[in-house]
Amino acid sequence: MFSLKRKGDYRLQLVRTLKQPGQYRVELYLFTPHEGRFSPWTLAEQQFFFNSIEHRFALLGLPEKDRLGKADSSFALLSPHYEIMYGSWLFQYRASMSRLRQQARAADLTNEPIKRALRLTKNFAQRLRKSTPQQSSQQRYYRLVDVYFSWYAEQFFLECMTLEGYDELEQELKDTIQEFLQQEYQLRREMKYQRDFRGTPTRLWNRMSLYLRLLDFPVVLRSRLTELGSGTRKLVKAASTMLIMSLFTYFLFNLRAGNQQLSLALLLSIALIYALRDVLRDDMINSVTKWLRKGSPRWKLRLLMPYTNTLLAQQRIWLDYSKLPDLPKEVIDSSEKWTLSNDERQIICYRSVLNLDKDTLEKDQIQERISLNCEDLCEMIQATRNKLFAWEDPDNPSAVQAHQIDKQHDYNLLLVCTEQGHNYSTAQRWRLRLGVNGIVQCEGKKTYWPSREKQQDKQSGQGFSRFLRRR
């Protein structure tokens, strides 16, 4: 199952951990609102794939049960195992702190999330700084990790100090935070980190963003994208050209056999036909290519190991805009419970099939992340100047307040997963409320998805029917 995280005003992130090799299937359906103007003309499929959705994979390091056996220095000091190990530690620390930051922003600030953040930070600092590597390349990576960690932890606690409710926290907790920050400042002076923290706020932020990209390099799997269907498009283009030229050649030979002379009107007719052919050619090629490749993947990704470029997995990706009657029956039956039927509404359908190699997860677990950027969808919402007037006090005629109305669109996000070794699928659903300035609300909803037993009974019935037809 995936967990949903908010990442800023426009972005959502779905995260899960893959622990076994095999095939993993993910289907994502984004139901657009009834009143929306969404269509392939307003947001092309390729634009949505490259700008609005991001599917990435990162190494999480060794499983907990195997870390003790690999904790000896002979393993840890090998490259690239050293960078992968420390990079995965930082990756997990940032993920935990991001969840705590979201909790602190969403509700009233309390002692528990701050205590947990402080405990995680101290444990990470102790594990990171208990030993210093000897190799020069590992020393450079260690320095980047230490500098970025010191800055990231400082930013978290400084942000907490600006939140409402910080003054009501326990005095002992606030003193502990102040003591930790003083220790970090002292460490920076001792390790000569001050130059990394100099400059304007913008320059400092950009520098730390660069450090993060360098630190993520050992743990983020490399992806090589290949667009499928180019060969089919070339064949359709060649076939259309051959057909048109054959028809013109046949027409001219018949004209010559009939002893007819070429006239100006005939030449203009031929030129007009050629112009019409150039106008309609691209649309015709696109339509025929899409019809021939219906149901086929549009992109193929090869996921490679950092440094060694060893092939770890292959991913096939589908993306198209469909209407409700074209969706799978299970999705249609489920959506009838929580959305109004509208056969003309566009639905964004994203599907991924990932095949993990057998040796992929022997050394590392993999985190799968699907990021959804709603900025392009929010730009489609037209701002309104409508106001709602309310009479606050009937005894006071002048006590009339004008409330600004913000136009919002509701989207339904349905995620269907089929994991390795399972002959059934599971589903999750969220309702997204988007405004002009970003995501207004995101909450989980009931999916009404068929149970595991019903899916298995249906598959058994289909298998028995196929057996009878063969008999």
Model confidence pLDDT, tens digit, residues 287-330:
888 888 888 899 999 988 877 788 888 999 999 999 888 899 88
Q: Is the pLDDT of residue 361 over 70?
A: no
Angstrom distance (rounded) from CA 160 to CA 272? 70
Backbone angles phi, psi at 300, to 5 degrees: -130, 130
Cβ distance 372 to 12 under 8 Å?
yes
Does 282 or 328 have the greater pLDDT score?
Answer: 328
pLDDT of amino acid 70: 42
Query: Which positions ≥6 away from 383 have C-beta within 8 Å?
Result: 407, 436
The structural domains of the chain, with segments of one domain joined by +, span 12-56+300-366+409-471, 61-218, 229-292
Q: Is the pLDDT of residue 136 over 70?
A: yes
Cβ distance 399 to 39 under 8 Å?
no
pLDDT of amino acid 207: 93
Q: Which residue has the tokens 């870390």?
A: 67
Q: Per-residue pLDDT tens for 211-268?
A: 998 888 888 888 888 888 888 888 988 888 888 778 777 777 776 666 556 667 767 7
pLDDT of amino acid 55: 92
pLDDT of amino acid 74: 41
Angstrom distance (rounded) from CA 88 to CA 99? 17
Q: Nearest 10 degrees: CA dihedral of 25, 321, 285, 268?
A: 180
Tell me the C-alpha to C-alpha distance, in Å, between residue 188 and each of 181, 182, 196, 329. 11, 10, 9, 60
pLDDT of amino acid 64: 47
Q: Is the pLDDT of residue 278 over 80?
A: no
Q: Which two tokens stand for residue 451?
A: 């149970």
Nearest Cα to 3, choosing from 18, 17, 19, 14?
Answer: 14
Q: Is the pLDDT of residue 468 over 60?
A: no
pLDDT of amino acid 59: 79
Q: Is the pLDDT of residue 453 over 70?
A: yes
Backbone angles phi, psi at 82, to 5 degrees: -65, -50
Q: What is the mean pLDDT of the chain?
A: 83
